[in-house]
Amino acid sequence: MSGRFLSIGECMVELSQAGAGLLRKGFAGDTLNTAWYARACLPAKWSVDYFTAVGDDAMSDEMLAFFEEAGIGTGLIRRIKGKAPGLYMISLKNGERSFSYWRESAAARQLAADPDILRQAIESADVIYFSGITLAILSHNDADTLLSEARRAKASGKLVAFDPNIRPRLWSGYDEMHATISEGARAASLVLPSFEDEALHFGDASIDATIQRYRALGVRDIVVKNGADGITLNFGGTETFVASEKVETVVDTTSAGDSFNGAFLAHYLERPDAPAAARFAAKVAARVVSEHGALVAKGKLGV
């Protein structure tokens, strides 16, 4: 098979400590990370595009050049006059990382503000991926626009994949977060939650409870990630467990779930064998947690 994989969301400028008071600049964001790993794992006959909104400043130009360099298409991305990308900084204190964000006025918050452009982008794609973070950064109206386009794509038979990626601090309250994330899942044909987040924020007592909750929302296929403790798949009611890979030394778990999703989807699109895709994705994610940073180069992934 071939086609276009479209990931929708926010990429930010990342500033990390480079020693001696210096900061290193990078680009990252959950849906961009997934596009990166999908690109690394899919054959060239597939195109991988990112859909977001950026500004018209130099940093936005650099961000788009970075995507292009990685083989991620930018042709669908909105440009918004007078805006700039969001930014976050990673601070290190006694080996513990903490994050500061400047993203409230980021261009990406307007990615769904023009329904026609969003519809064209989604119609041009064969596979659509978005997350709870994508929904969290949008206004109510714009989240509704994105959800209705995702539902339309699902109804037309496209694979619509959703990672709830629950981040309470991005939401104004728990009720809104629960309701909108549930709507995101309802609009998807495949959901890829992380059990730790689901247990903490939805109160799921077991992986089975997570699966039942998403199935009740009309999701056909579910992949529950559970860190080192393996992956539980429920595809159309058939359940399989896949063990995680053994990792000698976990260096940095940033983007473990995002890389798993990109690798899983890439494998699954080429060969619709969900357990095989999960085994492949577990290998890729194991390499990612063994390296520093969200975006590990293709050469280090063993793909």
Please identify every residue annotated as catalytic.
Answer: 258
Query: Binding of ligand ADP at residue 160 (CB under 6 A)?
Result: no
Q: Write down the H helix ranges in 89-205.
A: 115-123, 132-136, 140-155, 174-186, 195-202
CB of 291 to ligand ADP, least distance (A): 13
CB of 71 to ligand ADP, least distance (A): 23
Which residue has its beta carbon closest to ligand ADP?
Answer: 257
Give the Cα-Cα-Cα angle 302, 50, 105 (nearest 5 degrees): 120
| Identity of the residue, 55 or 262, whose beta carbon is nearer to ligand ADP in the bound complex | 262
Bridge partners of 241, per DSSP, are 232
Query: Binding of ligand ADP at residue 285 (CB under 6 A)?
Result: yes
The DSSP result for 259-274, as a single string, is: HHHHHHHHHHHHS--H
Query: Binding of ligand ADP at residue 225 (CB under 6 A)?
Result: yes
Q: What is the largest CA-CA distance in the chain?
A: 54
Query: Binding of ligand ADP at residue 231 (CB under 6 A)?
Result: yes
Residue 216, both tokens: 């009740």
Closest by CA to 115, choosing from 161, 81, 78, 84, is 78
CB of 250 to ligand ADP, least distance (A): 5
Query: Binding of ligand ADP at residue 28 (CB under 6 A)?
Result: no
| Identity of the residue, 143 or 223, whose beta carbon is nearer to ligand ADP in the bound complex | 223
Residues whose CB falls within 8 Å of the CB of residue 266, separated by 6 or more in sequence, listed in order: 5, 37, 38, 40, 41, 42, 46
Bridge partners of 90, per DSSP, are 16, 99
Q: Using an 8 Å Cβ cutoff, are 103 and 76 in contact? A: no
* Segment (H or E) for 239: strand 238-242
- Angstrom distance (rounded) from CA 18 to CA 200: 33
**Candidate list 72, 106, 111, 256; residue touching ligand ADP; CB under 6 A:** 256
Q: Which stretch binds ligand ADP (CB under 6 A): 45-53, 59-67, 208-216, 225-233?
A: 225-233
| Identity of the residue, 47 or 194, whose beta carbon is nearer to ligand ADP in the bound complex | 194
Query: Binding of ligand ADP at residue 29 (CB under 6 A)?
Result: no
Q: Which stretch binds ligand ADP (CB under 6 A): 88-96, 142-150, 212-220, 281-289?
A: 281-289
Q: Which residues in the 193-212 window bind ligand ADP by CB under 6 A?
A: 194, 196
- Angstrom distance (rounded) from CA 112 to CA 115: 6
The residues that touch ligand ADP, with contacts defined as CB under 6 A, are 194, 196, 225-228, 231, 244-245, 247, 250, 253, 256-257, 260, 282, 285-286, 289
